[in-house]
Amino acid sequence: MSEQLTTVDGRPLKAALASAERSKRIRAVLLVMPLFIFIFFSFLYPIALMLYRSVENPLIAQHMPETVAVLEDWDGNEVPGEEAFAALAKDLVVARESREIGKVATRLNFETPGLRSVITGSARSAGKWEPPYKEKFIDRRKEWGELATWATIKRLSPTITSVNYLAAVDRQYSVDGEIQMIGEDYQIYVDLFLRTLWMSVVVTVSCLILGFPIAYMLASLPLRHSNLLMILVLLPFWTSLLVRTTSWIVLLQTQGVLNDIMVWTGIIDDAQRIQLIFNAQGTVIAMTQILLPFMVLPLYSVMKTIPPSYLRAAESLGAHRFLAFWRIYVPNTLPGVGAGCLLVFILAIGYYITPALVGGQDGQMISNMIAFHMQKSLNWGLAAALGGILLVGVIILYWLYNKLVGIDRLKLG
């Protein structure tokens, strides 16, 4: 094929094809442009921004420039000299005047709890001091005489940092720069991640166990009956999430409907009412109910495509009804099972409202912690790092599914 193909009038065929198809292509691009712009600004850009925030760290470099410059050459083996304290004093005074000192103090406090008052207190006094500063600083707060304080400042000097991600997995830099576990009392995130994963697995499996028979029934009933049932499955979609979650509180609380019935029928004693909500199992129950449609719908759409003649064929070939179901029907539902599980699991690990309302202490999930850092502690860097880890987890799951089942076999409806 060395000879280049041309049109009748001698133009290269490829060029002719491209120009012939151009207007079609331009129209296609214009049609998807609104959606693309929307997705870009409401989805891709915020995610990129979040991921950037999880590693950016401009505060210290911006508001303590002198100190950062001096500490650049500091070896970290002993408390730095007068030069560093002079720079610190200058920075603190400037930062206090520009009213930025609070942010700096907060940032340092995230890293080493207790530093807030050290910074703000010292900043108040520093304006009145004359050089030499070292003694005065250490007199004011003994922390200035400790290596850890200076190590913290030096560690936060670079504008790009990994401390947020380390904090998100309960780790930190030691004074000499090694990565180590933080104190046992402060370790929460790894456990929380594991608990989030575990609860999501339990919710997914519960949805599958409950959803499979429903979907099977929907797929095998005549259309007029299955339509009615389908409405019952979809009904939760049309009800506010908040209403559904709070109804579970009414049902499951210790003075609630379910406990009342059990006491009334004598299954349990009045004194032994079971705590069903405001804990992990309450969260699992409520989330299972809320996420059930996401399991039923993909299962149903796959089961609808399985001809009933498969089961009949298996039976006519000598397989008992149950064996036929297990060997022939179930394997053909796997794309739906995969899609449903993936969907429910991904929704579950990022779930926020339900655990927040009915989770109590041990029903909290990682998203509740992210929300806490967004709204209460204002440690957006850490919130972004936690979110980033969650995102990577979901992407890995998606990749695994693609590897094992194939994303082209995913059927959502």
Partner 1 sequence: MIARIRAAHRVTGMAQGGMTENNDPLVRFESVQKSYDGETLVVKDLNLDVARGEFLTMLGPSGSGKTTCLMMLAGFEPATHGEIYLDNAPINNVPPHKRGIGMVFQNYALFPHMTVAENLAFPLEVRKAPKSEIEARVKKALDMVQLGTFGNRRPAQLSGGQQQRVAVARALVFDPVLVLMDEPLGALDKQLREQMQYEIKHIHENLGVTVVYVTHDQSEALTMSNRVAVFNDGVIQQLAPPDVLYERPDNAFVAQFIGENNTLVGDIKEVNGDNVTVDVNGSIITALNVNTEGVGSKTTLSIRPERVAVNPSNEGDYQNVFKAKVEELIYLGDHIRTRASVCGDDEFVVKIANASALAAINEGTEVTFGWKAEDCRALDA
Q: Under the criterion CB under 8 A, does residue 316 sit at the interface with partner 1?
A: yes
Burial (0-12, 13-18, 19+ Cβ within 10 Å), 248: buried
CB of 412 to partner 1, least distance (A): 20
Instruction: List the Cα angle 374/107/189 in 5-degree steps.
Output: 55
Helix (H, G, I), strand (E, B) or coil at 411: coil
> Which one of residues 20, 231, 232, 313 is an interface residue with partner 1 (CB under 8 A)?
313
CA dist 126 and 380 (Å) reads 29
Q: Under the criterion CB under 8 A, does residue 309 sit at the interface with partner 1?
A: yes
Q: Under the criterion CB under 8 A, does residue 321 sit at the interface with partner 1?
A: yes
Q: Which is nearer to partner 1, 239 or 316 (CB)?
A: 316
Q: Which residues of 307-319 are buried (b: 16+ CB within 10 A; e: fewer)?
A: eeeebeebeeeeb
Q: Which is nearer to partner 1, 36 or 310 (CB)?
A: 310
Q: Under the criterion CB under 8 A, does residue 34 sit at the interface with partner 1?
A: no
**Which residue spans within 92-155 are E strands per DSSP?**
none
Q: Under the criterion CB under 8 A, does residue 331 sit at the interface with partner 1?
A: yes
Q: Under the criterion CB under 8 A, does residue 319 sit at the interface with partner 1?
A: yes
Q: Under the criterion CB under 8 A, does residue 410 sit at the interface with partner 1?
A: no
CA dist 244 and 267 (Å) reads 27
The residue count for binding partner 1 (CB under 8 A) is 19
Q: Which is nearer to partner 1, 225 or 327 (CB)?
A: 327
CB of 202 to partner 1, least distance (A): 29
* 332-371 residues near partner 1, rule: CB under 8 A: 332
| Binding pattern for the stretch 257-296 against partner 1, x by CB under 8 A and - elsewhere | ----------------------------------------
Q: Under the criterion CB under 8 A, does residue 222 sit at the interface with partner 1?
A: no
Q: Under the criterion CB under 8 A, does residue 315 sit at the interface with partner 1?
A: yes
Instruction: List the Cα angle 395/400/406 in 5-degree steps.
Output: 110
CB of 400 to partner 1, least distance (A): 21
Q: Under the criterion CB under 8 A, does residue 159 sit at the interface with partner 1?
A: no
On whether the CB atoms of residues 144 and 41 are closer than 8 A, the answer is no
Q: Which is nearer to partner 1, 275 or 305 (CB)?
A: 305
CB of 318 to partner 1, least distance (A): 5
Q: Under the criterion CB under 8 A, does residue 307 sit at the interface with partner 1?
A: yes
Task: Choose one: 44-52, 172-180, 293-301, 322-330; the region binding partner 1 (CB under 8 A).
Answer: 322-330
Backbone phi, psi, residue 101, to 5°: -60, -35
Q: Which is nearer to partner 1, 32 or 313 (CB)?
A: 313
DSSP characters over 221-290: S-HHHHHHHHHHHHGGGGS-HHHHHHHHHHHHSTTSHHHHHHHHTTSS-GGG----SSSHHHHHHHHHHH
Interacting residues of 15 by C-beta distance below 8 A, sequence separation 6+: none
Count H helices and E strands in the chain, helices first.
21, 2
On whether the CB atoms of residues 373 and 386 are closer than 8 A, the answer is yes
CA dist 238 and 315 (Å) reads 41
- DSSP H or E run through 83: helix 82-97
> Which one of residues 318, 403, 404, 408 is an interface residue with partner 1 (CB under 8 A)?
318
> Which one of residues 270, 327, 362, 406 is an interface residue with partner 1 (CB under 8 A)?
327
Residue ranges binding partner 1 (CB under 8 A): 307, 309-310, 312-321, 323-324, 327-328, 331-332
